[in-house]
Structure 1
Amino acid sequence: MRVLHFFKTYLPDTTGGIEQVIFQLCEGTRRLDVDSEVLTLSQTVTQAQIQIASHKVYRAKQAFTIASTGFSLEVFDQFRQLAKSADIIHFHFPWPAMDLVHFASSHGKPCVASYHSDIVRQRALSVCYRPLMLRFLASMDRILAASPNYVSSSRILARFNDKTTVIPYGLDREAYPEPSTERLAYWRERLPARFFLFVGVLRYYKGLEYLLEAVAGTGWPVVIAGAGPEEANLKEQARQLELDHLIWTGRIADEDKACLLQLCHAFVFPSHLRSEAFGISLLEAAMYGKPMISCEIGTGTTFVNLDGVTGMAVPPADSPALRRAMGQLWENPALAAKLGANAAHRFEEQFSAQRMCEQTVQVYRDVLQGS
């Protein structure tokens, strides 16, 4: 079976949660006789075709952006050519330009769409996009959502209950590097014995401004691993709050991320808007057996992190509530250890890459068989 994945960004240019999901699907379904390829856009195309692990990635030159949405003229022809040899097209929603390519190509292939998120920020533009979006989703043979929480809270998905299947995202522990003794020693020398950890791209919906307010005056060490468009604003806020107990690492390599996940006391993930549809970083924390703090925003964040079981869920954009939850984990190491153990157990039961890949391939087969 040949599957073509189509999304606006991909490795190595960007390393977000959706990119990680696509990577896991491409690699994990190979043993299930699926040959996957990825078509994406790139702002700086030096090679139109590259190899990522065991799958091919085709990159079209991004010509311009509108409301954070990349567009490309050459991707239309590339998509047509690649679709000819695919048995199934796997779209990754949302990306309005993708919808246009889908309809303009008239490819006639069975289609699956992973519904990663509602459109949250560009609400004014989404009014114009809505007819195309609904037509696109209606044309899919199957829609995949990552959590029952998101299905029940999304007004858009409510229209397509009859064709929506919940398949939680999953990760492969073996795909993560085992930190060397030297690298672990490097971080131990530079970090406190206990610290809170955040890992992710510093975007508007990550709620980090509320995390900074929450730790003001506490002295709790917080490591913020990642870079992104909000970095300058956050560092200025930290300066004004006189937060000298924050450690900013910038974008880090996978081995360094594994070190930080292994060494941290707890993982804090204050995303406060529905743009955070799941939280792959939460999955990583659970995989490493860490207690988590997240916000209840009606998405997959509190499907991964069950309040009182694997960590704590607090109201969004609520710095005092965030501070109280962090204080409980900081002052009660036994509680933190118990929640972390529960998180690791739940990860093994619900969120393995093998489980995600097997369920996704079954959807592919059902679609090809017309069932």
Structure 2
Amino acid sequence: MTAVSHPPLRIALLSYRGDPFCGGQGVYVRHLSRELARLGHHVDVIGAQPYPVLDRVEGPGSVRLVELPSLDLYRADDPFRTPAAGEFRGPVDLLEYAVMRTGGFPEPLTFSLRARAFLARHKGRYDVVHDNQTLGYGLLGLARHGFPLVTTVHHPVTVDRQLELAAARTRLERLGKRRWYAFTRMQRRVAARLPHVITVSESSKAEIAEQLGAAPGAVSVVPIGADTRLWSPSDAVARVPGRIVTTSSADVPLKGLVHLVEALAKVRTERDAHLVVVGKPQKEDGPVTEAVRRFGLEEHIEFRTGLSDAALVDLYRSAEAACVPSLYEGFSLPAAEAMATATPLVATTGGAIPEVAGPDGETCLAVPPGDPGALAAALGRLLDDPALRERLGAAGRERVLARFTWARAAELTVERYRAAIATGVGAPARSGPGWRYVG
């Protein structure tokens, strides 16, 4: 670990959603903040519900959670809820509720407005603000408050919008998707004005320039990766014959899970195999659930949620094959994490996945996205060939160790912070209410 050669930085890391069990953004915040602190920096993770899980760090640096609560309109036990009258604290809350009630997704905008108000009350507290893909109007003009801004865009959400519109089965469903993704217009306008953008792959860099209008010279690639101390092989965990594991953090077309379900049906025509999905389908009548029923796979597909870190790693260690069936990814943490356990990988070539998984036949088996037949052929080949599994698993882990670690990601991110600070202006400190630290 490289020691801090400059004075340690005070970093405000913004994340409008931070739950590590529902998407890659929460994983990003957790692991990046920990490694920044290990470098000696002081990180305040400023977030809304679901709040991120953060690691305690022993050493000169620190990580703290600053709760900046929303109305939590999409909580798991009561989605699209109606808050009690006493929960509304001001105009931003009213805006959040109104947008939700009209079918939109308000959180990027409303979180950015709350974050701007918070930061305006704390001039001088932070050396740099790092936004984790909020891309809300409230973040524009932070330099006037003395805060250099760096923004991470994992991939343009416009890609998700395009895939969901293509998968919509009715006119009404398409109208609903357009309304939900209306916030992407704001994100395009904001991204085009940002001077310091971080993304996680060359594929995402090209998409950000094309779809969000960001200046190519403003975008730097900082690959992320796996916590290789946690994600590692273990002889204590036996491989389960025929087990395939995948992670589907969201039940959306982009993740390609419906194609993997069909592929499993094809694989099972010649050999015994079963699939464990980390995640769950969101709708009983959705495409994934329908596919499971159509192919008669209810007894051969298991959905698991809420796993601890240790249990998740052991699940991947127990698999004979891991699979990333996504139609597109801006990076693919599940690919890097599976490879770090020396579990052999079958992955599509969607988006940036080849940048992570590596060459076909060397560190993975690569297939075209959206092709169940190709997925089935690759999975069958892997399940039938122990020597191939051993070779690809070992090569995959070596690739992750050489290229994709959180420690290296933190070091490169600090370089981008210092570049942004070089163009920033300081301001005296001032405090105010409306937030609380969680130690």
TM-score, normalised via structure 1 length:
0.84
Q: 2: CA distance between counterparts of 1:172 and 1:126?
A: 34
Which AA in structure 2 matches 1:61? S
Q: Which amino acid aligns with 1:53?
A: R
- 1:52-76 Cα offsets, whole Å, 9 max, x none, are 5342222212354454442357555
Match of 2:159 in 1: 120
**Which among 102, 117, 136 is matched to residue 77 of structure 1?**
117
Letter in 2 for 1:20: V
What SS class does the counterpart of residue 251 from structure 1 fall into? coil
Shift of 1:120: 2.3
RMSD: 3.1
| Superposed counterparts of 1:171-210, under 5 Å | 171-175=226-230, 184=237, 192-204=240-252, 205-210=254-259
TM-score, normalization by structure 2: 0.72
Q: What is the CA–CA distance in structure 1 between the aligned matches of 2:232 and 2:44, rounded to whole Å?
A: 24
- Shift, 1:203, TM fit: 1.9
2:300 paired with 1:245: yes
Identical aligned residues as a percent: 22
Alignment coverage as a number of residue pairs: 353
1:189-212 deviation digits (Å, cap 9, x = unpaired): xx9434111123242121111111
The reply to whether residue 304 of structure 1 matches residue 356 of structure 2 is yes
2:207 & 2:160 partners in 1: Cα distance?
Answer: 17
Contact 1:267 1:293 survives alignment (8 Å): yes
Deviation at 1:259, TM superposition (A): 0.8
Candidates 124, 137, 162, aligned match of 2:191? 137
Name the CA distance, whole Å, in 2 between partners of 1:241 and 1:134. Answer: 41
What amino acid sits opposite 1:89 in the alignment?
A: V
Structure with the higher fraction of residues in strand conformation = 1
Structure showing greater Rg: 2
1:214 is aligned to 2:263: yes
In 2, the alpha carbon distance for the partners of 1:11 and 1:180 equals 31
Tell me the distance in 2 between the aligned counterparts of 1:192 and 1:131. 46
Q: 1:150 to 1:103 in 2, by over 3 A?
A: closer
* AA aligned opposite 1:161: P
Distance 1:308 1:74 in 2: 49
2:56 counterpart letter in structure 1: A
Q: How does 1:96-175 map to 2 (within 5 A)?
A: 98-103=135-140, 106-118=144-156, 119-122=158-161, 124=178, 132-154=186-208, 155-156=210-211, 159-175=214-230
Matched, 1:9 2:17: yes
Q: Which amino acid aligns with 2:247?
A: V
Shift in Å at residue 358 of structure 1?
A: 0.8
Q: Is the 8 A contact 2:155 2:207 kept in 1?
A: no
2:79 maps to 1:30: no
CA distance in 2 between counterparts of 1:326 and 1:178 reads 21
1:134, distance to aligned residue in structure 2 (A): 4.3
Find 1:61's aligned residue among 70, 73, 76: 70
Q: After superposition, what is the alpha-carbon deviation per residue over 1:301-360, rounded to whole angstroms, capped at 9, x for unaligned?
A: 111112222112212111111111111111122112111111111101100111111111
Q: Which runs of 5+ in 1 are unaligned?
A: none
Question: Does structure 2 conserve the Cα–Cα contact (< 8 Å) formed by 1:151 and 1:158?
Answer: no
